[in-house]
Amino acid sequence: LPAGNEFDRVFVVLVAARNPLNIGAAARAMSNLGFAHLRVVNPYSVAFREARSAVGAAALLREAQEYRSAAEAVADCTLVVGTTVAEHRELQHPLRRLEYGARIIRRQMKSNRIGLLFGSEKRGLSNEDLSHCHWLMRIPTREEHGSMNLGQAVAVCLYELARDSRVAVQPEKVIRATGAEVERISMLLLETLRASGYLNPRAVTAADKARRLVRRLDLTKRDADVWLGMLRKILWKLRAGDDSAN
Amino acid sequence: LPAGNEFDRVFVVLVAARNPLNIGAAARAMSNLGFAHLRVVNPYSVAFREARSAVGAAALLREAQEYRSAAEAVADCTLVVGTTVAEHRELQHPLRRLEYGARIIRRQMKSNRIGLLFGSEKRGLSNEDLSHCHWLMRIPTREEHGSMNLGQAVAVCLYELARDSRVAVQPEKVIRATGAEVERISMLLLETLRASGYLNPRAVTAADKARRLVRRLDLTKRDADVWLGMLRKILWKLRAGDDSAN
């Protein structure tokens, strides 16, 4: 297995998991494969408490952190990847097969924090959850029976990250923008588009769209600062223009 | 996924499985990943009956065959591979990491029947079970917590058999923005930054900087169109504000 500190940059995020056996199974697979950081978003609290008895993973579950939204759970991550079994669903995101996506994650986890999102057993990730993802990763299941058990999906994804680590991969040394920075840029862009008249202020899906658009830029930390500065100035000027027009 | 007939030569053999949830989970992972043939050796018959309700895998479980011994269950197989998490246990068999073992199996399953043995949740495979194996395959779990959940172990092993190493290096099919489009966006951004007061109109290196900044976004063609539209609107509004201010 690779050095522990790389896997320590991977955060497994279970969104709205309902079955304590699945939360426990996810934790157990994490512990088996060397991943320590579990985050749970809005779990049924009973399920979460019961899960704490998972074989061999009690310590990991004790340290698990609880969040009220996917946004909060990935705020400190610079790469956020959603997992899905969907192939045909109309997705707004790049969809990568696990084999290929894992390679990208392995490269980035040498210096960046990665959030790996898993949706609920019934419905997977919601569109709002997905809007926090840079891209999606698909486990190559059969079309006729794509829906995987949550604990097994976690095990397979983490195995792919952990497998054959001796194969040399170039470390990526670029520091990426954090989730919080991407969010700030998205919100500033949204305000700017509203102030410019590009967006109808009542357009309800605009925030998700802006977020996805900015995520896809996959900004470095340095460029994120530049974009923040530019957008602030543009927005200020747009508003100043409106004031003087009134 | 490879042609179904290759996977049809793989027989997943669960020896003395006790927990119906695990038998069901194993069946579900098989169905997800495209493997049809389940054989069970001495299951608790109650567990086996209950397992038949596994999500999406009912047909597979109905077709599952029951045997009284591992020997009978693999009698028609030409390669028999046992799975284990043991690393230190005194083994009489060659032990291969899953990544390498699966490669050998993939080669053989083109023309041979493969038996893939999984032991009971508590004790794994017995020495007698092992004596029917050609070699053993180890899932690369941590030494400190090697013992994997049965359903997850089946999922990970079958995933490794089904994974397509060619996908890991395949380029994406996304269409990127052309140089001309990047240039148009850069120039519009430059105008916008000047109109907003972010840039001094006399700054000579500004155009190059804007161009590099936009290039680094590595936009898709589709997103390039969106950014063009947004910038045009913002610039128009900035100039309208200036006009009304004069």
> By the 8 A CB rule, do B20 and B47 touch?
yes
Q: Please give the pLDDT value at position A163.
A: 85
- Within 123-182 of A, beta carbons closer than 8 Å to B belong to 139-142, 145-149, 151-152, 155-156, 159-160, 162-164
- Strand duo B79-84 + A79-84: pairing: unpaired
Burial class (CB in 10 A: 0-12, 13-18, 19+), A21: middle
List A41's β-bridge partners, or say none.
Answer: A15, A67
The closest alpha carbon to B194, from A233, A141, A222, A209, belongs to A233
Which of A28, A146, A192 is opposite residue B149, by nearest beta carbon?
Answer: A28
Cβ-based contacts of A233 with chain B (< 8 Å)? 193, 196-198
Ranges in chain A, pLDDT < 50: 1-4, 165, 167-172
Rounded to the nearest 10°, the torsion over CA A127, A128, A129, A132 is 110
Strand partners, B83: B137
Q: Do A196 and B146 touch (CB under 8 A)?
A: no
How far is the alpha carbon of B118 from chain A, nearest alpha carbon, in Å? Answer: 16
pLDDT at B21: 84
Question: Which of A6, A18, A32 is the best substitution to test chain B (most B C-beta atoms within 10 A)?
Answer: A32
Burial of A45 (0-12, 13-18, 19+ CB in 10 A): exposed
Top residue of A193, A237, A238, A244 to mutate, by most chain B CBs within 10 Å, is A237
Out of B164, B198, B229, name the one closest to residue A230 (CB). B198
- Between B31, B169, B226, which is nearest A145 by CB? B31
pTM: 0.73
Q: Which residue in the set A56, A152, A156 is minimally distant from B145, CB to CB?
A: A56
Closest-CA residue of chain A to B58: A145
A159 chain-B contacts, CB cut-off 8 A: 139, 156, 159-160
| Chain B residues with CB-CB distance to A145 below 8 A | 31-32, 56-57
- Report the distance separating Cα B39 and Cα B134, nearest Å: 18
Nearest-Cα distance to chain B for A75, in Å, is 21
In B43-113, beta strands by DSSP E: 65-67, 79-84, 95-97
3-state secondary structure A194-218: HHHCCCCCCCCCHHHHHHHHHHHHC
What pLDDT is recorded for position B245? 57
Would the CB atoms of B155 and A156 count as touching at under 8 Å? yes
Q: How far apart are the first and last CA of chain A?
A: 64
Give the residue on A whose Cα is nearest the Cα of B213.
Answer: A223
B169 DSSP assignment: G
Between the CA atoms of B157, B40, B88 and B138, what dihedral angle is there, to the nearest 10 degrees? -10
Q: With H, G, I as helix, E, B as strand and everything else as coil, classify residue A80.
A: strand
Which of A134, A107, A21, A116 lies closest to A73, judged by CA? Answer: A116
Give kind and range of the element (H or E) at residue B37. strand B37-41
- Fill in the amino acid letter for B43: P
Coil vs helix vs strand at B171: coil
Condensed to tens digits (0 to 9), the pLDDT of residues A2-18 reads 444 789 999 999 998 88
Full pLDDT tens readout for chain B, 246 residues: 444 578 999 999 999 988 888 899 999 999 999 999 999 998 777 667 777 666 778 888 889 999 999 999 999 988 999 998 766 556 677 888 898 889 889 888 888 899 999 998 888 898 888 888 888 998 988 888 888 999 999 999 999 999 877 666 655 566 778 878 888 999 999 999 999 999 887 777 888 888 888 888 888 888 999 999 999 999 999 999 877 655
Of the partner residues B57, B170, B238, the one whose CB lies closest to the CB of residue A100: B170
Of B29, B196, B244, the CB nearest to A234: B196
- Please count the residue pairs, one from chain A and one from chain B, whose beta carbons lie less than 8 angstroms apart: 186
CA distance B148 to B142: 10
Q: Which helix (H) or strand (E) holds B67?
A: strand B65-67
Q: Is residue A25 less than 8 Å (CB to CB) from chain B?
A: yes
Distance from CA of A204 to the nearest CA of B (A): 18
- Per-residue pLDDT, B167: 64
Q: Which residue, among A55, A147, A159, A216, would best test binding to B if mutated, counting the most B CBs under 10 Å from its CB? A: A159
Q: Which DSSP category does B168 fall into?
A: G
DSSP state of A30: H
| Contact between A159 and B163 using a beta-carbon 8 Å cutoff | no
What residues pair up with B79 in beta bridges, in sequence order? B114
Does A192 touch chain B if contact means CB atoms closer than 8 Å? Answer: yes
* B120: helix, strand or coil: strand
The residue of chain A with its CA nearest to that of B163 is A99
> Mutate which of A163, A165, A174, A219 to disrupt the B interface (most B C-beta within 10 Å)?
A163
A chain contacts of residue B139, beta-carbon cutoff 8 Å: 32, 159
Of the candidates B56, B152, B219, the beta carbon closest to that of A152 is on B152
Angle CA B81–B85–B89, to nearest 5: 95
Q: Are B55 and A159 a contacting pair at CB < 8 A?
A: no
Q: How is residue A242 written in tokens?
A: 């409106």
Residue tagged 């790996």 (tokens): A116
Contact in structure between B109 and B6 (CB atoms under 8 Å): yes
> What was the pLDDT predicted at A46?
65
A29 with B148: Cβ contact below 8 A: yes
| Binding-face residues of B in 98-127 toward A, CB within 8 A | 98-99
Of A29, A35, A190, A171, the C-alpha closest to A115 is A35
- Give the residue carrying structure tokens 């991550």: A77
Six-digit token string for B164: 């397509």
Q: Classify burial at A1, counting beta carbons within 10 Å of its beta carbon; exposed 0-12, middle 13-18, buried 19 or more.
A: middle
Beta strands A10-15 and A37-41: pairing type?
parallel
Element housing A83 (H / E):
strand A79-84
